[in-house]
Structure 1
Amino acid sequence: MLYGEEHVRRYIETDGQEGHEWRPGVPALLLTTTGRKSGKHYVTPLIYQSDGDATLVVASKGGADAPPEWFRNLQANPDVEVQIWGEKFPARARVATPEEKPAMWQKMASVWPAYDDYQKKTDREIPVVVLDRV
């Protein structure tokens, strides 16, 4: 199983042939954000699901009280790049609305049930992030 920089490297080198299926039945994409302080580009592998024309990811950080850095970066600059398999596309990130979130959360937890456990570990409301193609 791939993690971190090795996951990113193998995903890019193989157009997702290695790394798209992170675990059986659990697909991963690569999200590129711009550092809110550094301006550097950061690539993060994340579990995802499609939702119509949008792509969903969850800013869980395993249920930590602080959000993941990639989420803090996209809050400062919501213009991101997404790679799914060999396809790369620009997207604009936003947090799911309170009306959208329950169905989107259920969709994400159906592929990674630990999201429900992560939410129980923290008082922070874990957001579902919607990536809309630009």
Structure 2
Amino acid sequence: MSDDTSAAIRETRKDWVVEHREMYLESGGAKGHIMDITPVGGRNFATHCMIKYVGRKSGKVFITPLCYADIGGEVVIVASKGGADEHPAWYLNIRDMDQVEFQVATQAFRGTWREPEGEERQKVWDFVVDCHPFYANYQASTERQIPLVMMKAVEEIPVFKASDATGTRQF
């Protein structure tokens, strides 16, 4: 998939993503965790988390909602950017961080993160694609290997609020 095609997909989903993020934040996670994403190629009972991170260039705080899967007690997110040829900004930002903050439904955590490798990566990838089949299409549309990020909770923190973010996600 070209970056232009990826940009067109992101533009189409832009309003939905913004509305989803606002709903998740305004409800404290009571809404937005489970969503029907069949219009964008997902399942009708898809799980979503939010990650909070600091921009490596701007120093601003961003909150981004993402589909996730849970495997072996770790939350797995996918740095797909809709199959674009470059990594999403959130992934580039958390690569520079020792820890990550994430929220699943009404619980938020500070935790560690890692990228699975080798056989483990393939096992995790297969599981994520089973949960969210559109990721297979995204991988087929780019030559880069789409990164997987596995997050493990270390301590509970307050749920995210819209006022926590000092930056606006770029689409």
Indicate whether the TM-score tops 0.5: yes
Contact 1:30/1:46 (<8 A) preserved = yes
**1:107 corresponds to which residue?**
127
Using structure 1 for the length normalisation, give the TM-score. 0.92
Q: Report percent identity of matched pairs.
A: 35
**2:18 corresponds to which residue?**
5
Which runs of 5 or more structure 2 residues have no equivalent in the other structure? Answer: 1-12, 37-43, 155-171
Q: Greater helix percent: which structure?
A: 2
**2:87 corresponds to which residue?**
67
Which runs of 5 or more structure 1 residues have no equivalent in the other structure? Answer: none
Contact 2:50/2:66 (<8 A) preserved = yes
Counting matched residue pairs gives: 134
Show CA shifts across 1:72-116 (max 9, x none).
001111421111111010012221112211111111111211111
Q: Which protein has the larger Cα radius of gyration, Structure 1 or Structure 2?
A: 2
Misfit runs of 4+, over 4 Å: none
Q: Which residue identity does 1:104 align to in structure 2?
A: V
Q: Distance in 2 between matches of 1:58 and 1:39?
A: 23
Q: Which residue identity does 1:34 align to in structure 2?
A: V
Q: Distance in 1 between matches of 2:55 and 2:35?
A: 25
SS of the residue 1:119 aligns to: helix
RMSD across aligned positions (CA): 1.6
Q: Greater strand percent: which structure?
A: 1
Q: Distance in 2 between matches of 1:15 and 1:110?
A: 28
